[in-house]
A and B are shown apart, each in its own frame.
With several copies, the nearest count.
Chain A
Amino acid sequence: MRARVLVKPKAGILDPQGQAVERALPALGFTGVRNVHVGRLIELDVEDPDRLPEMCERLLTNPLIEDYEIVETEPVTS
C-alpha cells in the first residue's frame, strides 16, 4: 500500500513557518488567507500498513510537538 503521513505542529505551539507564509501572502496580492500551518509530508510504500502508527510514533514524528494523520493513496506507477 502507498501511504501518506501528514505531520503538523501541535496546536498551540508557535509555528513561525506558518506565520511567515501568512505574512508573505498579502504582499503578493493574496488576501483572505488565515491559520496557516506548515508541516511535513511523508509518502511511502508499506507492505504492512498496520505497522504505520508505530513507525510514526517512533521515527516519523515527535509526538511531543507534532500530530499526524495517515492517509492511503494511489500507488505510484513506475
Chain B
Amino acid sequence: MRFGVIRFPGSCDEVDAQLACQRFGEAVILWHRDRDLKGVDAVVVPGGFSYGDYLRVGAIARFAPVMEEVAEFAAAGGIVLGICNGFQVLCEAGLLPGALLPNTSLRFIFRQVELEIVSVDSPFTGAGESGQRLSIPVKHTTGRYYAPDAELARLEAADQVLLRYAPGENPNGSLNDIAGVCNEARNVFGLMPHPEHAVDPLTGPTGGLRIFESIRAHIADRTGAPA
C-alpha cells in the first residue's frame, strides 16, 4: 500500500511518520502547496508546528492547498490519520469534531503514556483488541481534547472515541481521557500521542505498530491485496 505524509512549512515529525509508514508499505511526502495526493491509499497529517502554530494551533495549516484535496479524499472515504499537530489541523478543518486546548499544566510535556484501545471498530484500531494497552509518547503543549457536552455525549454514543489515556495517565486534562477520536464515517482519525515514535524497539516501546498494522490490514481488505 501507499501512504502519503503531508509536509507543511513547520512540520517536524513528517520524516518520522514516513519512516514508520515505510515499515508497512510505500510512503511519499506530499507538499503543502500541491493539490496532488499522488494516488495514495492513506494520508497522514503529521506532527510538528505547522506555520509555527502561530495564531492558534492548526489554524493556518488547514487552509493549505493540499488540505482541500485531503477534504475531498476524506469525503470519498479515504483513510486520513492526523497525529498531534495533524489532529489539531483536522479539527480546525472540521474533518474531526472538537478542538484541542492548552494543556492544563500550560507547559509542553513529553511523556511515554499508556493508552487503551476503546473501540476496534475502525481502520485505525482494527488489528488491536478492545481494552488493549499501548505505550506511546505524547509531546505537545496544546493537547487537551474538548468538545461541547452534547457533542461529547454523541461521540461516546457513536463509539467515535478510539483511544483513551489509561486511568491516571491523562497528561493534558482532555475531557473523558480522550486521546484520539474518529469522524462519524470512521475514516478520519486524529490522536495526540505519536504512534510513529513507537514502532522501533531500538528507540523505545512499540505500541504504535498496532495503528499502522490496522491501517495496512484495512487497505489490504478493501483492495483485496495480501496484507
User: For window 90-125 of chain B, which residues contact chain A by CB distance below 8 Å?
Assistant: 92, 98-99, 101-106
Interface bin, chain A: 10 to 19
- Expressed in whole angstroms, the minimum distance between the Cβ of A38 and any Cβ of chain B is 7
Say yes or no: B55 contacts A17, CB within 8 Å.
yes
Complex CA–CA separation, A64 to B173 (angstroms): 18
**A residues engaging B (CB < 8 A)?**
13-14, 16-17, 20-21, 24, 27-28, 38, 40, 59-62, 64-65
* CB neighbours of B60 from chain A (8 A): 20-21, 24, 59
* CB neighbours of B146 from chain A (8 A): 13, 65
Say yes or no: A21 contacts B55, CB within 8 Å.
yes
* CB neighbours of B105 from chain A (8 A): 16
* CB neighbours of B52 from chain A (8 A): 16-17, 20
Complex CA–CA separation, A16 to B173 (angstroms): 10
Say yes or no: B63 contacts A24, CB within 8 Å.
yes
> Which of A17, A38, A40, A60 neighbours the largest number of chain B CB atoms within 10 Å of its CB?
A17
Complex CA–CA separation, A4 to B56 (angstroms): 17
**B residues engaging A (CB < 8 A)?**
51-52, 54-56, 59-60, 63, 92, 98-99, 101-106, 144, 146-148, 173
Complex CA–CA separation, A63 to B32 (angstroms): 25
Say yes or no: B54 contacts A17, CB within 8 Å.
yes
Q: Which of B54, B59, B104, B148 contacts A64 (CB 8 A)?
A: B148
* CB neighbours of B148 from chain A (8 A): 64
Say yes or no: A65 contacts B173, CB within 8 Å.
no
Closest to B97 in A: A64
Q: A17-B54, A64-B98 are in contact. List 6 more A-B contacts (CB 8 A).
A: A13-B101, A14-B101, A17-B52, A20-B52, A24-B51, A24-B60
Complex CA–CA separation, A74 to B42 (angstroms): 50
Q: Which of A14, A28, A38, A59 contacts B173 (CB 8 A)?
A: A14
Known: A59-B55, A64-B99. A20 touches B106 (CB 8 A): yes
- Expressed in whole angstroms, the minimum distance between the Cβ of A56 and any Cβ of chain B is 12
Q: Which of B63, B92, B104, B144 contacts A62 (CB 8 A)?
A: B92
Closest to B149 in A: A12
* CB neighbours of A60 from chain B (8 A): 55
* CB neighbours of A21 from chain B (8 A): 54-55, 60
- Expressed in whole angstroms, the minimum distance between the Cβ of B5 and any Cβ of chain A is 22
